[in-house]
Structure 1
Amino acid sequence: MSISTMKPTGTPGGESGPSNLKAARLPRWSPYVIAVGSLAVGCGIGLAAGLDSRLQWGLIAAILFVAVSYILSATVEGGRQAKDRLATSMVWVMFLLAVVPLASLVYETVQRGAKVFNGYFLSHSMGVVADKETGGGIYHAIIGTLEQVGLACLIAVPIGLLTAIYLVEYGRGKLAKAVTFFVDVMTGIPSIVAGLFVLSFWILILGFDFSGWAGAMALSILMMPVVVRSTEEMLKLVPNELREASLALGVPKWRTILKVVLPTAIGGITTGVMLAIARIAGETAPVLLLVWVNPFINTNPFDGAQASLPLYIYQQYQSGNQAGYDRAWAAALALIAFIMILNLVARGVARWKAPTTGR
């Protein structure tokens, strides 16, 4: 009895030919070529139409890039792949639309601020220099900003961390819901409202003088809900298995939070605190109401008016002369550098304190 073997269909001899399931694809370099071509055509259309704004040229090029990518992909690769190309090109265009203003802001600040940004500018105040004269610096404003932001952190960070720990680890019932509601409300409070609250209570009712401490209290009100919300979200991301394992070993809950939960979430918590500092470092309204203006160096935040970088920028720009404009841009550059350094320090601390897993 013979058994016949079946051979696959295809080429003679039973050998299968090349698969016809592989669809045609555009080359990998095609998006770059389309982008360059769209940019060139967009610039040409802008010049021919007499458009003065480079932003309009860029928008035309972006529309051309999306349209050409979709049409070519639909022609060569089919409708399904064309939809994927459309979504990808839209993501890239939105990314560039978000990055271009940021890059333009940084470039403009560096270009204008570098005119007077030097060691003299960082080490002198405006005590003996009029706003219309050249010279002077931001030394007094740097001291005021560092002290006011530091005092605000001393107030807001412990309260915010403990509030977030309560909401995640202990909070149940109506009290937790009420705290969450008021944290949400505080997140949207305008800075001028926080300044008016401290002004009416601390200065008008209690009779204290304008000072950096008063400004720090207003800044802490703005900072607190950001710390609470960011810390709360980071604590929720900690796996419950870690808590349960610690509790199963007989470790008290407070020690579990201190030794297991917080170290696991320290990276996100540090980032949230830095975001909160960035939120308050550029506030002008509370400082204008509570700290007032002082062109001289005042290292005591509890006695007398102080300066700060946001208020210094506002004051110099209000002077209405070129020397004031140059100092304002240089102070803005210093403020951006201050926030950047804080973020770099936060990333270093987050990596240093991040939990490590052994083999």
Structure 2
Amino acid sequence: MNTTENIRLQDTSKGRQLKDKLILGLVILLSLITISPIVLIIGKLVAKGYRQISLEFLIKNTPDTYTAMTALANGERIPGGIANGIVGTLIMVVLASAIAIPVGIIVGIFLYENPGKRLANFTRSLSDVLQGVPSIVLGLISYLWVVKHVTNGYSALAGAVSLAIMMLPMIVRSTEETLKMIPNTLKEAALALGTPYHKVILRVLIPTGFSGMFTGILLGISRVLGETAPLMLTALGSSMINLDISKPTSAVPLLIWEFYNDPNMIDLIWSSSLMLMAIVLILNLISKQIAKKTK
């Protein structure tokens, strides 16, 4: 009887081990399928784009069609670079961050402090809706608001406004969710010591939730770095470096679109895309490291 029971238990154990191995193999297979697209994309960009990457690529403006055509005819590397796009991207992202970060943090704090109020619920719903609005629609709104009535023309400011609107929902929700994770006893202790309410927010809540809030900000920046559609309606583009925010300016995504429409600039598409993906990847890695160290 004991022998029969032992054999049955052994069979059951072997069956469970077999199921565990099958499930583990399935998980590994699905994981490989999940990461394979990004591996293939990065591999393709590196294989196609490394030829143009150089110091000249980072510090010179984009070449014209004739220069690129001449270089291709002679079997040479296309001269010039994407300095105008890099500078334009930095200007618009910095402006967008200056607009979106303070507003997003303030709104997130308001939602955290007033969870049950009608205005807070309405604002939260609007934030969720705004996060799902297509970027081209936000570009159109910025065109009507800024291009038509503020700068009276395409400009870096208009592009920054469209990017700021895109960043807002992520900053708002990340701020609110981060503050929800902070124990209420921490705030109560600060208030019990006679600390003014605004100082509790500035000196206790924000520093304590800095990692989560900063991660949300970096993810928002990463999202807008690769946007093209809203910038086509607002920033338009420029072949030269432009530091005037009231004038048209270029961006790396806009340059990729322009290179795509010019058969002589095909090689620059891959290099520009590789640079853009590298910037986004670096920002995401930085956000993860900061969140890990300041958790």
Question: By percentage of residues, which structure has more helix?
Answer: 2
Task: Return the offset for 1:279.
Answer: 0.8
Percent of aligned positions with the same letter in both sequences?
Answer: 36
1:271 aligned partner: 215
| Distance in 2, Cα, partners of 1:255 & 1:90 | 52
1:146 aligned partner: 90
Matched residue SS, 2:263: coil
Establish whether residue 170 from structure 1 lines up as the match of residue 114 from structure 2: yes
| Distance in 2, Cα, partners of 1:208 & 1:127 | 28
2:275 aligned partner: 334
Cα gap change, 1:251 to 1:86, in 2 (>3 Å): farther
| Distance in 1, Cα, partners of 2:19 & 2:292 | 40
1:72 aligned partner: none
RMSD value, Cα: 2.5
1:41 aligned partner: none
Query: Which among 263, 266, 269 is matched to residue 320 of structure 1?
Result: 263
| Distance in 2, Cα, partners of 1:86 & 1:345 | 36
TM-score (norm 1): 0.72
| 1:319-344 deviation digits (Å, cap 9, x = unpaired) | 123xx121111011111222233334
Cα gap change, 1:246 to 1:86, in 2 (>3 Å): farther
Cα gap change, 1:146 to 1:199, in 2 (>3 Å): same
Verify the 8 A CA contact 2:147 2:155 in the aligned structure 1.
no
| Distance in 2, Cα, partners of 1:89 & 1:247 | 54
Query: Which among 129, 143, 148 is matched to residue 199 of structure 1?
Result: 143
Specify the code of the residue in structure 2 equivalent to 1:230.
S
Verify the 8 A CA contact 1:132 1:319 in the aligned structure 2.
no
1:297 aligned partner: 241
| Distance in 1, Cα, partners of 2:116 & 2:236 | 43
| Distance in 2, Cα, partners of 1:97 & 1:152 | 36
Question: Unaligned regions of 5+ residues in structure 2, if any?
Answer: 71-77
2:73 aligned partner: none
Task: Return the offset for 1:258.
Answer: 2.2
Matched residue SS, 2:148: helix
Q: Which moved more, 1:81-90 or 1:343-352?
A: 343-352
| Distance in 2, Cα, partners of 1:153 & 1:249 | 35
Verify the 8 A CA contact 2:95 2:160 in the aligned structure 1.
yes
| Distance in 2, Cα, partners of 1:203 & 1:248 | 50
Cα gap change, 1:241 to 1:202, in 2 (>3 Å): same
Larger radius of gyration: 1
Bigger relative CO (Cα 8 Å, ≥ 6 apart): 2
2:75 aligned partner: none
| Distance in 2, Cα, partners of 1:203 & 1:300 | 14
Verify the 8 A CA contact 1:157 1:273 in the aligned structure 2.
yes
1:112 aligned partner: 48
Specify the code of the residue in structure 2 equivalent to 1:202.
V
Question: Unaligned regions of 5+ residues in structure 1, if any?
Answer: 1-9, 11-19, 25-74
- The number of equivalent residue pairs is 283
Equivalent positions of 1:1-359 (< 5 A) are 77-126=13-62, 130=66, 132-133=69-70, 134-206=78-150, 208-302=152-246, 304-321=247-264, 324-347=265-288, 349-350=290-291, 354=294
Verify the 8 A CA contact 1:293 1:305 in the aligned structure 2.
yes
Verify the 8 A CA contact 2:219 2:287 in the aligned structure 1.
no
